[in-house]
Structure 1
Amino acid sequence: MTSIAFNLQAVRRRIADAAHACGRHPDDIRLLAVSKTWPAECVAEAADAGQTAFGENYAQEGADKVAALASRALEWHFIGPLQSNKTRLVANAFDWVHSIDRLKIAERLAAQRDPARPPLNVCLQVNVSGEASKSGVAPEAVAALAHAVAALSALRLRGLMSIPEPTDDMALLRQRFAKLRMLREALERDGLALDTLSMGMSHDLEPAIAEGATLVRVGTAIFGARSRAH
């Protein structure tokens, strides 16, 4: 067994333990392996160990891996900040985009998505901790953006994503994750059918799962420290 396969098993055990601890079923939480900066060979190792969904932060690097591994039935998620000049590449290389925080980006993705492909699955990134330096739409602006994005036929709004400020305060993290969950619940009451809460990473997946995460984004705990700087 490779170290990546061993690490995947350990992360899956953590997810299962966290789910059971709060009365949830482990199958209700998807694992997204964040493979940014790691070569296609490492993604292939993870795929050989049964992992199918992968997250990338950099458009060109991710698109290159999508092409290199096109013969495999993998699902690709773009989870990094997205600039206007990269939307065409991302719209057609990826199956999901988690980091929409303004309508202009959503409209460009919708206009540039190949009409022969199914709608692009998207999440809105919400700045739940209010950091000035952090990407994400403000909580009070989520509803307006969500309804505008949901109206774009080339996109399928699936839910919300957040990256709270790094902290060892698990109670504070639970508050941040709870805020995202409550925002999704409010959108559902307002008529939007959403099934995704993309929250929780290597160091905080347990509190995220306790607050309803349906998808956790784990990189370091699977692949190790970044292989190179970006």
Structure 2
Amino acid sequence: MSFITENLKNITENIKKHSNSVNRNYNDILLIAVSKTFPVEYIKELYEFGIKNFGENKAQELRKKAEELKDYDIKWHFIGRIQTNKIKYIVPISEYIHSVFREKEIVEIDKIAKKHSKIQKILIEINVSGEETKGGIEPNELNELLKQAEKYENVKVVGLMTMAPYTNDENEIKKVFLGLKELRDKYVKDYPDLRELSMGMSNDYLIAIESGSTMLRIGSLIFGKRNYNIGG
């Protein structure tokens, strides 16, 4: 068993234990292995261990890996900042696009999805923490964007996504995650497809589980330290 498989085994066990401790069903939480910058051999190893959901944040790297792994039944998640001119590469491959927060992105996603006869599942990124360096709309802008998204037949908004602030203050992190859950709970009555909560990464996934996350985006805890000089 390699270090990657060992890491995955430990994390999976942690997710199960923590889910039980906060009265959540482990099966309601999807683990997305964030494979950005890591080679396809790592992805193949996790796939054989049962992981089918992988996250990438650059369109070119996503295309390259998807082509190399075309014989594998992988569900790809695009989690990076979106460039509208790269959407034509992202939509044909991605099961979910997590980082949508502008109507012009939705327009382009809808256009490309139509060409490929698919309904593209997206999550709207919310900047709950209010940090200027983070992407996403402000919470009070969600209602308007959900209304706009309804106009596009080939796009389905299935949830919300956020990133917690880089801090050791667990209360601050939990406040952000609970803020996203409150938003989802507020709008899910009018938008019943709005079920997913994509929140929680390697440093805060246990807090995310407590706060209602349905999608955990975990990379370095599984794969180790990243080399940002590779990929594209």
The reply to whether TM is greater than 0.5 is: yes
Alpha-carbon offset, residue 117 of structure 1: 4.1
Report the residue type matching 2:56 in the other structure. E
Q: For structure 1, which runs of at least 5 residues remain unmatched after alignment?
A: none
**Post-superposition offset of 1:85:** 1.1
User: Aligned residue for 1:226?
Assistant: 226
Q: Which residue does the alignment assign to 2:27?
A: 27
- Give distance in 2, aligned partners of 1:191 and 1:110: 18
Distance 2:5 2:148 in 1: 41
Partner residue, 2:161: 161
Note closer, same or farther for the CA distance 1:75–1:62 as it changes in structure 2 (3 Å cut). same
* SS of residue in 2 equivalent to 1:178: helix
Aligned-partner Cα distance in 1 for 2:111–2:10: 41
Q: Secondary structure of the residue that 2:203 maps to in structure 1?
A: coil
Deviation at 1:188, TM superposition (A): 1.0
Q: Give the Cα separation in 1 of the matches to 2:191 and 2:217.
A: 27
* Structure 1 CA distance for aligned equivalents of residues 64 and 153 of structure 2: 27
Match of 1:141 in 2: 141
1:202 maps to 2:169: no
- 1:26 positional shift: 0.7
- CA-CA distance at 1:42 after TM superposition: 1.1
| SS in structure 2 at match of 1:133 | coil
Q: Do the aligned partners of 1:91 and 1:110 also contact (CA within 8 Å) in 2?
A: no
Q: CA deviation at 1:45?
A: 1.0
Unaligned runs of 5+ in 2: none
- SS of 2:91 mapped into structure 1: helix
Deviates more, 1:112-121 or 1:40-49: 112-121
Separation in 1, partners of 2:111, 2:158: 18
Secondary structure of 2:92's counterpart equals: helix
Tell me how far apart the structure 1 counterparts of residues 117 and 202 of structure 2 sit (CA, whole Å).
Answer: 32
How far apart are residue 7 of structure 1 and its match?
A: 0.9
1:151 deviation in Å?
3.2
Q: CA offset at residue 36 of structure 1?
A: 0.3
Alignment of 1:1-230 (within 5 A): 1-229=1-229
Mean Cα displacement is larger for which, 161-170 or 142-151?
Answer: 142-151
Contact kept in structure 2, 1:162 and 1:198, CA below 8 Å: yes
Match of 1:217, as an amino acid? R
**CA distance in structure 1 between the aligned counterparts of 2:194 and 2:228, rounded to whole angstroms:** 36
Using the alignment, how far apart are the partners of 1:115 and 1:134 within structure 2? 31
Q: Secondary structure at the match of 1:76?
A: strand
The amino acid across from 1:81 in the alignment is R
Tell me the TM-score normalized by structure 2: 0.95
Query: What code does the residue aligned with 2:112 have?
Result: Q
Q: Are the counterparts in 2 of residues 115 and 154 from structure 1 also a CA contact under 8 Å?
A: no
Cα shift at 1:99: 0.2
What is the letter of the counterpart of residue 152 of structure 1? Y
Amino acid at match of 1:189: K
Deviations 1:122-142 (A, max 9, x none): 000000100111100111101
Distance 2:150 2:34 in 1: 26
TM-score normalized with structure 1 length: 0.96
